[in-house]
Amino acid sequence: MRSLQFVALMLLAAVSVGPSFFGQNSRGLASEDCINCEVRGNVSDSKNIENNISKLSKSLSSLTKNERIFVDLKNKFQCGDNDFASISKSKGRLKKDQKYFIKNDSMYPETDDAQFIFAMNLPSEGRLPSTKSDKPFIGKSFHNDLLMVEKVYSDRDVIGFNITISYCSAFSEKDKKLIHDDRELKELAFGGISLDDDNTCGIFNDIDGAQTAMVSKKEGIFGSNFPFQTSFSAIDCDLE
């Protein structure tokens, strides 16, 4: 909460100072001796600022525990680190994560059965709320793409899985955009997946193996679609 208030306060300060602050050298402001400066303003101004901070803080969405884990991993595993062993090159991670939901099948209640559920059902875009939260299953590709799978509960029953994928951008040797924020990613499908909640060594469970396929939609009228496949595996314990 303190961090949200700090961000909100900085935003409000920038608005109140106005464009002139960014158009001038601010060194004089920093060097001015204000130990004995008088406070300009009144109590009502302070209350207005507090009210605005409160409203802005409420409007900023808070991350769940699993989302924070995923963000930390995205910061840890930078895109482009393994470009030396790849034909395509990356210029950073896509800004938008891909989010999908796969419906469960009552015939396959165990975690080990997820391979059948993911192979037989096509994911739908979006996420479903869950009545409780478990450890997520997370895997990583060679290029540092990340895949997170979360069980979705309705009371005690697992009704499906939320899927979050963070892809790295990809450019051809001629610097053509293959996977990029300018190109929409569609038609996610799984060739297989293996979820592991037994052999885990951290705050998340392992995805021992997964294969995904997507289509990067063409950019512009004369572009072409780019279908691509990605393989994910478990993250080494010593890297968590």
Q: Calculate the CA dihedral of residues 197, 136, 161, 78 and round it to 10 degrees.
A: -120
Q: Which residues pair with 125 in a beta bridge?
A: 100
Q: Is the pTM of this model over 0.75?
A: no
Q: For 120-179, what is each residue's pLDDT tens digit?
A: 889 999 999 999 888 999 999 999 999 999 999 998 889 999 999 999 999 988 889 999
Q: According to the model, what pLDDT value does residue 182 have?
A: 93
Domains of the chain: which residue ranges?
2-59, 65-239
Give pLDDT tens digits for 49-92: 555 545 544 444 578 899 999 999 999 999 988 767 677 899 99
| Residue that wins the pLDDT comparison between 25 and 70 | 70
**Separation between Cα atoms, residue 195 and residue 112, nearest integer Å:** 6
Task: Tell me the C-alpha distance between 97 and 85, whole Å.
Answer: 25
